[in-house]
Structure 1
Amino acid sequence: MNARSAERAALVTLVCFAVSMIDGFDTLMLSFVAPLISHALQIDHASLGRVFGAGFIGTVVGSIAVGPAADRFGRKPMLIAALALTGLLTLACALATSASELALLRFIGGLGMGGAIPAVAAITAESASPRRRSSLVILMFIGFPLGAVVGGAISAALMTHFGWQIVFWMGGTFALAMLAPVIWLIPAREVGSALQTQAHARLGAILAQGRAAPAFALWCGVLASMIVSGFLVSFIPTILNMNGVPPARAALGAVVLNVGAIVGALGLSWIVRCREPFRPVAASFVGGALLTCALGLLIGVGGALFGTLFLVGVFLVGGQLTFPAIASRLFPSAVRASGVGWTMAIGRLGSIIGPMIGGLMLAHQVAFDRLFGFAGVLTLFAAGGVALASFWRRGAGLAGESESEADITLVVAEGKN
């Protein structure tokens, strides 16, 4: 890659990083203001879990729909549409007066939030050299927790003075403001041929050439880990508040978790410059499982709890930030946005299940040590899924396959069907 190409790749990655930040803030903002909204709108824990779930259902649908559409019609147009939808519907959330209204608005806005990440992951991967692809996609996706950290810190400072609505006003405005740099700085790519676009529409094409087994193993790992993090990110502020922590400080629990995620993802991005990302992520999840179990024993201990939250962020959430990079490594260019979209959709499904189950368990007053012990077991299951994906990928001969060869094979195979 020459200097001009490297410059262009860096600029594209920076814009995608900013989009990822906005997406992270908009996706997780509800957890920052959950205690205030619960009180203001008289929403119980079970109903609050359903509001979280509605938003994540929207992101699942958005990931599945926008990924293939981005492969077919272009990454840039679909990213613009996703940002516009996210911005407008997030602004509308500030006007909600009930749990049902908020759930509907979060669902529709989630279509845009879910569609943004597959598009920016594919754009970043295709602007980078093959050697730097995994690390650059991980670095781009670090914007997601960074957006949550910055947004959470600002939210904690402003929401007690201006009300919970200010958080939605900020999120919607930021999303709409990103339209200008995306329009002007992201290059448009040519839409594939009719043969390729037919391939994008079929799940069978995504799983072709031996990718089915590693993809399903990866998706199981993604699902399990996102159930855990979906619960943690959504309900840690609420759990802290239940244990006597003021709402503004409780919101910082989600911030600490995401600061740890940034540190963990930075470490993993350095590791995967020299090797494939699958096995380091599996090892990270094993550490995350042990720390998640410990978290249930430290509720109410104060400083020790926040320190453990940070480490859970490093090992568990930090590992999850590699999923777009892993998917970009597993799926070739012709179906990359589709493959990333399906991977993120599976993850978002876990983010639906986690808050809903967590809300019900909290409503039934399940002991914290049992609640977090169950989360630790799920995290171990996630480690096994990622490890199996690595093993089966190598068994299918995909580890050494070049992107160009994979793309050619895909098109030829589709042409025979």
Structure 2
Amino acid sequence: MDLRSRIDVSPMRPYQWLIVGLCVVLNILDGYDVMALAFTAKSIGADFGLSGSAIGLLMSAGLVGMAVGALSLGPLADRIGRRPMILLSVGMAAAGTALSATAGGAEQLGLWRVLTGLGIGGILASTTVIASEYSSTRWRGLAISVYTAGYGVGATLGGLAAVGLMADHGWRAVFVVGAVLTGLVLLILAALLPESIDFLNSRGRAGDLDRVNKIAARIGQPAVASLTAASGDADGRTGRIGELFAPGRLRSTLLLWAAFFATMYGFYFVNSWTPSLLETAGLTKDQSATAGMMLTLGGTVGSIIFGLLTSKWAVRPVLIGFTLGSAALMVMFILSTPMLIVAFILGVLIGALINGCVAGLYTLAPALYGPRIRTTGVGWAIGIGRAGAILAPMATGALLDGGWSSQQLYFGAAAIVTVSAVALFLLRTPQRSVSVQDQAATTAAV
């Protein structure tokens, strides 16, 4: 049995959880960055004399950068390696955050927000793959779910930090702290983060065998005599975007993109517009803000629940269930606003389910592609998903101006999320490389 197969069926070792933990920290930085701008937007607008639409463009700049980063840096990671790309992307994010603190106007700040987003996009594409590859088959869903939950933790910390720092030092201090933290994380990653085993196996250069065996020793596995390419490694040229549409992959790629786009549309719709729409529907400002907090609270818990469920059942059916549940509860939620307690409970459940959907897609995507194009496939899926994230608040605002009610907007978003469930139902994922019985036997032997 090669090293990749042993990782799939063996218990998770501390070093593997450490790798997942490093990926979680990187996703925390993503959440911090997004909420830091959200909480400082009003102060920035007052400082630079910006209109509401100009502030909206600034908030979108980071999302555009993330989409471009995932689309462009994902394929590059398949060529130069996941580890170098993560280090480069974290460096870009740190630089963009630091430069944001020095911005003298909206144009400069928008440029630095795009740079920060580029780095975060590269981070997301590569860390999703790293976390997946170093996780066992049984605990892969939980590992990715914990990784996904890091966003909510970072968003909470970013909001708290922004409130405290702005009161004493102004909005620029929020970005200074973010840059310092990102720089420290870069040093930690340089010391502890390994390269992808699948990438080393696929590349097969002189010295890669020694690197693989050093990693094997750290995760408690015996050394290997030679590099063994993982299943599917021979399929496709390294980092070529066109390989995503090759015979046998076209259908899976398009369905995965549809699922990412629809899910991220729903995710950003409920997280961006819920407080405003509830206020429009008749709730007070405090009640609407509380409902928004319920979504965030549910999101962190939901990601973990999804991971625990996938340790017992296959990812795709659980993900379909979460997606259909999200759509149904979105309809129930907006209809229940006259009953506050019910609405708050449903808000928690929606946050849990829609975040679980994101965790599920991050778990599913790496399994669809061979090592030579894995980060390319994941990066493009994330990039397409970010397009949905960008469109959701823009489309909602336009429809709201066009006279749509809160109920109509929620019904429409629920219909779009349902499209994700249909795409996932039609998607056919690769079969597991080992049976449950084989896994149990190997685990017992180890």
Which TM-score band (shorter chain)? 0.7 to 0.9
Aligned to 1:245: 285
Q: For residues 275-334 of structure 1, what are the alpha-carbon distances to aligned partners after superposition, in whole Å with 9 as ceiling and x for unaligned?
A: 321121121111211222344446697665544332221111221122221112222323
Q: How does 1:15-414 map to 2 (within 5 A)?
A: 15-38=22-45, 41-96=48-103, 98-159=105-166, 162-189=169-196, 190=200, 192=203, 199-208=237-246, 210-236=248-274, 245=285, 255-297=293-335, 305-362=343-400, 366-389=404-427, 393=428, 398-400=430-432
Q: How far off is 1:18 after superposition?
A: 0.9
Q: 2 CA distance for matches of 1:225 and 1:324?
A: 11
What is the number of residues matched between the two proteins?
394
- Whether the aligned pair in 1 keeps the contact of 2:20 and 2:147 (CA below 8 Å) is yes
Identify if the C-alpha distance between structure 1 residues 175 and 300 changes in structure 2 by more than 3 Å, giving closer, same or farther: farther
Q: 1 CA distance for matches of 2:341 and 2:176?
A: 32
- Whether the aligned pair in 1 keeps the contact of 2:141 and 2:306 (CA below 8 Å) is no
- Whether the aligned pair in 1 keeps the contact of 2:58 and 2:113 (CA below 8 Å) is yes
5+ residue gaps, structure 1, are 403-417
Identify if the C-alpha distance between structure 1 residues 39 and 302 changes in structure 2 by more than 3 Å, giving closer, same or farther: farther
Q: 1 CA distance for matches of 2:334 and 2:173?
A: 32
- Whether the aligned pair in 1 keeps the contact of 2:70 and 2:121 (CA below 8 Å) is yes
Residue type matched to 2:406 in 1?
F
Residue type matched to 1:333 in 2?
P
Where 2:13 maps in the other structure, the secondary structure is: helix
- Whether the aligned pair in 1 keeps the contact of 2:240 and 2:373 (CA below 8 Å) is no
Q: 1 CA distance for matches of 2:423 and 2:271?
A: 22
Aligned to 2:227: none
Identify if the C-alpha distance between structure 1 residues 318 and 59 changes in structure 2 by more than 3 Å, giving closer, same or farther: same
Q: 2 CA distance for matches of 1:330 and 1:198?
A: 13
Identify if the C-alpha distance between structure 1 residues 288 and 157 changes in structure 2 by more than 3 Å, giving closer, same or farther: farther
Q: For residues 49-102 of structure 1, what are the alpha-carbon distances to aligned partners after superposition, in whole Å with 9 as ceiling and x for unaligned?
A: 333332211111111122121111111111111111112212333344554443
Q: Which moved more, 1:288-297 or 1:75-84?
A: 288-297
Residue type matched to 1:192 in 2?
R
Residue type matched to 1:289 in 2?
A
- Whether the aligned pair in 1 keeps the contact of 2:144 and 2:359 (CA below 8 Å) is no
Identify if the C-alpha distance between structure 1 residues 169 and 254 changes in structure 2 by more than 3 Å, giving closer, same or farther: farther
Q: State the TM-score, normalized to the length of structure 1.
A: 0.82
Q: How far off is 1:15 after superposition?
A: 1.2
Aligned to 1:413: none
Aligned to 2:217: none
- Whether the aligned pair in 2 keeps the contact of 1:54 and 1:352 (CA below 8 Å) is no
Where 1:274 maps in the other structure, the secondary structure is: coil
Q: For residues 103-133 of structure 1, what are the alpha-carbon distances to aligned partners after superposition, in whole Å with 9 as ceiling and x for unaligned?
A: 3222121100111012112222222234433
Q: Which moved more, 1:334-343 or 1:123-132?
A: 123-132
- Whether the aligned pair in 2 keeps the contact of 1:293 and 1:375 (CA below 8 Å) is no
Root-mean-square deviation (Å): 3.2
Where 2:139 maps in the other structure, the secondary structure is: helix
Identify if the C-alpha distance between structure 1 residues 92 and 149 changes in structure 2 by more than 3 Å, giving closer, same or farther: same
Residue type matched to 2:100 in 1?
C
